[in-house]
Amino acid sequence: MQNVRMVVNMKKVIKTIRYMIFNKQNGTRIESINASLKASYGYNVGIAYNTFISEDVKIGDYSYVNSNSYIENCEIGKFCSISSGVYISPFEHNYHNKTTHPFLYNSFYGFITESPKLQRKKVIIGNDVLISLNAIIKEGIVIGDGAVIGAGAVVTKDVAPYEIVGGVPAKHLKFRFDSVDISKLRSDKFWEWEREKIIKNVDYLMNKIEKIK
């Protein structure tokens, strides 16, 4: 038993070193060994401890995911803030079949000889999106730039840019800004600015000044 523990611990150490090398080479901050290195990570992406990222995920520059989240089958834009306990595109059981059990799709159970390749619709998340604690985003959902998903929300339909939604199922609460300001923000697209321009316009982004420098 002690030898088994030693082997497991050694594997963890080796995997941790691999992640340290990956972070140094790619400018990322991946702390979870459950995050696939085959996924696509932009610059300064942060993945906190014990978060699962599948290899079919793409995450844009400066976005981060906090601990104990589960992210698969999705594309995430730049500057997104994803909290702890968030589930994005978890596998959904088909209740239209005569059984909801996954043995119909997984050869592991021995009822079928080969697991079929399931066609799943990706979740598409825009830029500068905030997804709060314990939210669930269902398969195929599109979330617009600047949107906010409230804590504990279950998102079952698309979310418009700069819309705030919450509840189970998630419903429209309000928009972050009026239509004129939203139009300007969508035109500005600060997430596409060069780093130097963002630094110059921190006060603009914090609403301390009204014009972009």
Instruction: Kindly report the CATH number assigned to the domain that includes residue 89.
Output: 2.160.10.10
Residue 7 pLDDT > 60:
no
Q: In 3-state terms, what secondary structure has residue 88?
A: strand
| pLDDT on residue 204 | 92
H or E segment and range at residue 143:
strand 142-143
The structure tokens listed for 81 are: 């803030």
Q: Are residues 207 and 162 in the same domain?
A: no
Query: What are the tens digits of pLDDT across the range 10-21?
Result: 777 788 889 999
Residue recorded with tokens 């159970």: 109
Query: If you average pLDDT over every residue of the chain, what do you get?
Result: 93
Q: Are residues 152 and 195 in the same domain?
A: no
Residue 8 pLDDT > 60:
no
Q: Are residues 86 and 171 in the same domain?
A: yes
Q: Are residues 172 and 206 in the same domain?
A: no
Between residues 118 and 198, the one the model is more confident about:
198
With cut-offs at 50, 70 and 90, classify the pLDDT of residue 6: low
Query: What are the tens digits of pLDDT across the range 78-120?
Result: 999 999 999 999 988 889 999 999 888 888 898 888 888 878 8
Which distant-in-sequence residues (6+ apart) come within 8 Å of 180 by Cβ? none
Q: Are residues 198 and 142 in the same domain?
A: no
Residue 3 pLDDT > 70:
no
Query: What are the tens digits of pLDDT across the range 37-82?
Result: 999 999 999 999 999 999 999 999 999 999 999 999 999 999 999 9
Q: Are residues 160 and 195 in the same domain?
A: no
Q: Are residues 172 and 201 in the same domain?
A: no
Domains held by the chain: number:
2
Q: Which runs of consecutive H residues, i.e. helices, occur in the chain?
A: 2-26, 179-188, 195-200, 202-205
- Active-site residue (options: 93, 96, 101, 172): 93
For range 162-182, the mean pLDDT: 97
Secondary structure letter of residue 173 according to DSSP: E
Task: Name which of 6, 153, 126, 117 is nearest 58 in CA terms.
Answer: 126
CA-based end-to-end distance of the chain: 64
| pLDDT on residue 14 | 80
Q: Give the span between the Cα atoms of 171 and 115, in whole angstroms.
A: 36
Residues in a beta bridge with 53: 35, 71
Q: Are residues 210 and 131 in the same domain?
A: no
| pLDDT on residue 93 | 87
| pLDDT on residue 94 | 86
Residues of the domain holding 204: 178-213
Q: Are residues 73 and 99 in the same domain?
A: yes
Q: Are residues 71 and 128 in the same domain?
A: yes
Catalytic-residue membership of 96: no
Residue 155 pLDDT > 90:
yes
Which distant-in-sequence residues (6+ apart) come within 8 Å of 204 by Cβ? 210, 211, 212, 213
For range 142-168, the mean pLDDT: 98
pTM attached to this predicted model: 0.90
Q: Are residues 133 and 195 in the same domain?
A: no
DSSP per-residue string spanning 25-77: HHT-EE--TTB-TTSEE-TT-EE-TT-EE-TT-EE-TT-EE-TT-EE-SEEE-
| pLDDT on residue 4 | 56
Q: Are residues 204 and 101 in the same domain?
A: no
